[in-house]
Structure 1
Amino acid sequence: MPRRVVPALIVLLAALLVAAPARAEPPQRLASQVTDASGWIENRAPVDDALGELQDKTGLQLWVVLVDSFDGTPAQSWTDETARLSDLGDRDALLAIAVEDRAYAYSFPADSRLSDQELAEVAEKRIEPALAAGDWSGAVVAAAQGYQDAASSGSGLIWAVLVVGLIVVAGLAWVLLRRRHRRAAPQEPAGPSLADLSGRANALLVELDDELRASERELELATAQYGQDATAPFRAALDEARANVGEAFQLRMTLDERPTPDERAKLIRIIELCETADKRLDAESDAFDRLRDLEGRAAEVAGEVDRRRAAIEAALPAAEATVHDLQTRFSGGALTAIAGNAGQARERLAFAADAVRQAREALASGGKAEAALAVRGAEQAVDQAAHLVEAVERAAAELPAARSAADGLLAEVTAETAAGRAALTGGGEVPPGLAAAVAGGEQVLAEVRAALAGPRPDPVGAVARLQAADAALDAALAAARDAAERGARARSMLAQALPVARAEVLAANDFITTRRGAVDYGARAALSEAQRHLALAESLAASDPAAALSEAQQAQQLAARAGQAARVDVQGWSGGGYGRAGGFDAGAFAGAVLGGILAGGGGHGRGHGGFTGGFGGSGHRSGGGGRRGGGGRF
């Protein structure tokens, strides 16, 4: 099935797969400019007049939808997805209000004549006061008038034009003198602002990262069925796209950490790299769909998915017991990352079961396209459930292993600090930085020993702190060691650092993959860089252990940063609890949104088209290059 799937199919699936509360509605395709099924707007006349005047004066068509509830979906995600499903274009804006949720959001085209600041001011000074007072029609009228005033603020330029007319007469000679210079060196027209370029770049990074993750799994399924030779062209396309996106993430991190004068050029380069990756995947999408033939094999694949779903469901009680056991023994970010996995897996499996049912019903009525779409969603949901359970099983092995590794590192750092203390008091030349490294090592030893003696230690955090102290001591003592000793030391430390880095990268990758609907570009960029440094560490391990050690340590630090940032994104998306959104138990639908399987997730404020995914998914981008939004509670 082509990647750009008809939006109506997404609406159909969402309606069939979700058992929503009585008056909650999922994102929808709007049939008219004002949608108010519950009748919250009692007097339509002033609303229609204000919207008509806004369009007549500015050319901007403001669509409005009032619902009781956003169905547990974050307001911005709900609004952006409704705008996408409704095919809103470059002259269309959307204001969405969930009356009982007391939440609202707006979605404007990226190239709107209104700035982000103007949109925020209209929201704060015009829309929110009316919403807070329960004046729904007044809020819409205030929004339309506010947008009109902001867009028309240039009317005062009439007087300026008259003045300029006089100045032109007086300055004609100067104009004639300058004309030749302007012809010789014409100025480039003003392009998009840095803020617009940055927003576009960030949105593309998230979107392409999602597509790569979905494409990798689809390629694994195809390779298992048809072999390496049949899927070689798709593997090459995926590798090229991954390299482009990796370079783009690296540029994005460079800009975030060290802004440079060539920021515009780098942002444009990020956009170019993402668009190149997208086109490379698109070029193979039709051939990949023909190879997988989900429309023709929907019944067979539905059966396979259902069997996998049942097997994973049978493993959930054990996974829940494992999480509970780990929670009684350990703490820290590694445990937080898998604490909600069993519940998340259960939601994905519930979604998969409904998707398989929908596929079979569609096949019975001859709907092969709908069946293929549902089967693809079920595949992704079951894959994510499997990842979630596997992450729990890995944690059950890695947390005790980290605890043992911490004991070994305690002994090693103790020896290093003793060697450093001896060098400081031995009367010889003191290497630079040694005193600080020794003091820091002794402090870390005391704090880590105390933490590990507690009832629920954080062994992963302890290992990270000890490794950092060990590295600082090793660097300070390096001048006092000969080359052979330094090489042996580096190999010994690398043997400890590489497994930790691999585990940290894998844990962050699993977390982001299974919650990608909520994870912004920052966590993804840190993970991409962690993966790059880990690959370098592994390639240098035999030839240059010292350099490999440095790369492994950077990989571990970046992966830890990625995991932490991703957890913050998910907590913000879910209101503090995985599997919940905006205070509602959104169930299988919320799980599918959080996992990026259905459109609408995202702390990054953009929705993904339907069942996302590279070669065979249905990623969708508007021709206008994304939308801008805002909103909040009232």
Structure 2
Amino acid sequence: MSRPSALLTRTLAVLGLVAAPLLLAAPASAEEPSRLAGQLTDDAGVLDDEGRQQVEEALQRLQDEDGTQLFVTFVATFDGLSGPDWAAETAELSGLGTSDVLFAVAVEDRSYGVDVPEGFRLDAGQVDDLVLSDVEPPLGDDDWAGAATAFADGLVPGSVPWGLLGAGAGVLAVGGGGYALVKRRRDAAAEAERVRAAGPFPDESTEQLTARASEGLLAVDEALRTSQLDLDYAKLQYGEAGVAPFAGTVATARQEMQQAFTIRQQLDDEVPEDDPTQRRMLADLLGLVKSADDRLDAQAAEFAQLRDLEANAPQVLDGLAPRVTALTGRLPAEEQKVEQLRRRWAPSAVAPVDQAVPQAREQLASAEHAVTAARAELAAGRTGGAVPYLRTAEAALSGTQATLDSVGARAQELETAATTVPAARAEVQAGITAARSVDPTDAAAVAGPVAQAQEALTVADQLAGGTAPDPIAALSRLDAADDALDTALAGAQQAATARRDAAARAERAVTTARSAVNAAALAVSSGRDVASTVPRTRLSEAERHLAAAEAALLADPATALREATEANSLADTVQSSISDARRDRERQSSSYSGGFFGGSGGGWSSGGSFGSSGRSGRSSSSGRSSSSGRRSSGGSSGGRRSSGGRF
């Protein structure tokens, strides 16, 4: 071997020995600023499924509110940069626009960075107050999802950071206590909104409900007092017995109003209630007031009828006698109909009208007695005294007619049911046949309703057949079985449709992920000179998730979809990382000035950044303006401003 070759070999070996420990010592999860793969990235792996969903929902709420798109990213470290600098570089590489905000957290560095566009509706001080009061406390508790959610919620227009509410100094002093107060405030606001939306008055404010309650209490209390005066006068005219129902109505309305006034007193006392409690109490109050008002309105109508009856008592009495005679004449015919029903149908089918004629006779007797008493009162000149008897007679005659009419109605119902049973039976049988063809996965869910339907067919055949059938009972059993079958079959159909849709989504996701992983593998293979451990690690993870997705595709589409989505995201990160590394290499090449081993654009720097990091002249201490203090600012450049701190 020639001396130059030997020298070169030994030199490379020495460099390898020097570089290898540095590679091993460098944190594998360090993240250089790069183009974000999505609105929420978690390269640090700190979010579980529930936390990810919580953050995504908060990001969507913010975007729906005014179009602000918040990007959140969790990484292990900022790779030697300060939070503001890392956020600013990442925002630039990601091409964030005038409605985009970036929140970056390095979980191992215990630092964060925020980058917002110039002219953002919150100035720098407001953003800092929001982060300090709402975001830093959950970060300090390792509540990563809570921190991102608090930041997103705090950016919603109209949501003022707790530190800006006038007691800023006190809240800043309590630190984590401020976060707890903010969380309780938000929880209370959410509960108030839930109660408002779910309550009977979703479109009215609490102030409007309070005004309505006051008006209702005043109006109905006046109506109650008027009704009591009418009742007292009616007692003098018609006697206690004649107005007993009215007295009961007034008493019930008075109890309801007393309860309503008690609620109002509780609302007016010195103990304050929160908004949800106020709305619940006001809803209860208004319900009581409405119930009392409805009772009194019905009573007013009854009083009007009572006065009309008194004014026309002789004419009313004359009209009752023909009605008694007519109903009495119907008794033999209705008794014969009942006997026919007994011979034609089962006792259970005739039971509702079996005693109809004896009941009608009793009602007629009561009517005749009341007519006799009313005639006596009128003859004595006591018109008011005749009114209760006239009312009793009218009620008894109306009851008699309804009782006798029920016999014919029952006969018609039985005939109709008998002709309907065959069709109902066919429907149940069709449901059983359909249930036997459901997907085996859903067989257990329909097994119970099928067994019940088969039993119903047997019972219905027994009830509808024989010499004394009960078709109404048979139809009832068949209808219940049919309803249960319909519900079970609808559920099975929905489940089958959902599985097909999930399988289709999963298959599309796996296809997309497979293409993305193949492209990422090609990018690493063709860019081995710039592919650091980060893209190689992401590629390995993407391949693992893709394999898991392919394995679960047939048996568990939901898992396959989740794994394929993760694989696709990781593959995108690989390609972005390779592209960024190539650009860094090109920038290094353009600024290169020196021999094979000289110059500041290549090799490894004194700060420990190796190879293709692409940050010429950056050392491990650069950008660490926050290491000596709690908060830091990256200044403003390129139409954006950044800030950050430690937690």
TM more than 0.5: no
Q: TM-score, normalised by structure 2?
A: 0.33
Larger radius of gyration: 2
TM-score w.r.t. structure 1 length?
A: 0.33
